[in-house]
Structure 1
Amino acid sequence: MADGLRERKKRRTRRALADAALRLFAERGYEQTTVADIAAAAEVSTRTFFAYFPTREDVVFADTDERIAVMRETLTALPGGTPPVRAVHRMVEQVFATDGGMFGPARATRTALVLTRPELRAKALERLLTAQQIFTDWLRTAYPKLDAVAAATVSGALMGGLVGAALASLDRGDPPERIRAELEHAVTLIARGLIAIDE
């Protein structure tokens, strides 16, 4: 019970820091907002901020990191022999069912920051490569006949397709339900390449 309460408190603190950061970035600007400002707005110490996020840049990706964790957990829990297309649909379903992030009210602020700040684009690329590696590893475990290059090719096509669809849908100003529909459509478009794995 204590562990459960502790984890919930940690999640609330992490979310409070991320929400405060994005609010301040929108109000004051990224350069004008310090870690101390974010910590004060979330009613915690600067030391607490750094217990959750290594840098100011990382707080922008709080939801992304949560989604990567969900992605890893979802793939790990899949039964053996799960077809790749089904695995991808399940992964997308679980990852994009989480609160906040690209479906949250701060999605426009987060997207604008990532697209305009070189240091944030670099952090975004780190997360993308991590997600690609997770799916690559799952593919190689689930389908041992795939070599490293083939698995990485499929994973790269999938992650690149999802990111491209999400950014285009966000840029168009789509509401959350439309964004999710576009992501599902992206998986369908990529599915032909995944189906070939079973052949």
Structure 2
Amino acid sequence: MAETGVWPHHLRVTETPDWRTRRWEATHRRLFATALALFEDFGYERVSVNQIAKRADVSVPTFYAHYPSKEHLIMALPTAEMVGALLASQPAELPMGERIRRALPVFLAEMPPDEQEAMRARWRIIAATPTLRTRAAEFERRTAGMFLDSLASSSGKAPGPVEVVQTGAALVAYTTGLLNWADSNGELELVEAVDRAFRALSD
């Protein structure tokens, strides 16, 4: 879906014969992998953009051509298309919260192992960095807004108070599940951690 530390789509490679696109994607992935390694070794707060660029053998302007900030290497938002596809995968007659609770575990279960491992690495860094944990909540609220916008677009009417509350609660649970997964040091599976957080909404 968050490009977000929540949404792993930025690792996917576009199948294209265009060598410029392939080179751009290779640099994008190299910057991401380099930054994660540095964050894990030294901590997110102690690593600068200059250090990431130097280790990845690119210029600082090249870094900013790929990521608006160091934070955006870790935190990301879904695209509108991804949000729309998630909602469309569930029956429209279901309550909004239920559509999200059903769609996200399926999305996570279908994630390729390499993307899931990259997601785990990102969320370990988020979980270990207080400023990023705070920012995760902000990205979560923005993602909830994207779900509500998608609902309005598909239904032709503005979401009501119930949809707003259900969407916000579902995204809080999702973020909580990801943080619990990261904090578990491998004891919890990704889908299990998110399912537990969603079940807590109805307990």
TM-score, normalising length: structure 2: 0.69
Find the aligned partners of 1:188 and 1:2 in 2 and give their Cα distance. Answer: 41
Higher relative contact order (CA 8 A, sep 6+): 2
> Residues 44-77 of structure 1: CA distance to partner in whole angstroms, max 9, x if unpaired?
221110011122222222xx44xx2374252375
Once the two structures are TM-superposed, the CA of residue 129 in structure 1 deviates from its matched residue by 1.5
SS in 1 for 2:58: coil
Find the aligned partners of 1:27 and 1:12 in 2 and give their Cα distance. Answer: 23
More helix by share: 1
Partners of 1:75 and 1:91 within 8 A in 2: yes
Find the aligned partners of 1:117 and 1:172 in 2 and give their Cα distance. Answer: 17
Where structure 2 has 5 or more consecutive residues not aligned to the other structure, the ranges are 1-14
SS in 1 for 2:44: coil
Find the aligned partners of 2:143 and 2:63 in 1 and give their Cα distance. Answer: 25
Q: 1:181 aligns with which of 192, 196, 200?
A: 192
Alignment partner of 1:11 is 2:18:
no
Find the aligned partners of 1:82 and 1:121 in 2 and give their Cα distance. Answer: 34
Partners of 1:132 and 1:156 within 8 A in 2: yes
Q: 1:172 aligns with which of 184, 190, 194?
A: 184
Aligned residues: 185
Where structure 1 has 5 or more consecutive residues not aligned to the other structure, the ranges are 193-199
Residue range with higher mean Cα deviation, 83-92 or 29-38: 83-92
Give the counterpart letter for 1:81 in structure 2. Answer: A
Q: In percent, how many aligned pairs have the same letter?
A: 23
TM-score, normalising length: structure 1: 0.70
Alignment partner of 1:23 is 2:34:
no
Once the two structures are TM-superposed, the CA of residue 109 in structure 1 deviates from its matched residue by 6.3
Alignment partner of 1:162 is 2:171:
no
Structural mapping, 1:1-199, within 5 Å? 6-61=20-75, 64-65=76-77, 68-69=78-79, 71-75=82-86, 78=89, 81=92, 83=94, 84=96, 85-86=98-99, 88-94=101-107, 97=111, 103-104=116-117, 107=120, 110-118=123-131, 120-142=132-154, 147-174=159-186, 178-187=189-198, 190=201
Instruction: Provide closer, same or farther for how the CA distance between residues 75 and 108 of structure 1 changes in structure 2, counting only shifts above 3 A.
Output: closer
> Residues 140-195 of structure 1: CA distance to partner in whole angstroms, max 9, x if unpaired?
4455677442221011110111111222233222357x2212323544555x6xxx
Residue range with higher mean Cα deviation, 165-174 or 3-12: 3-12
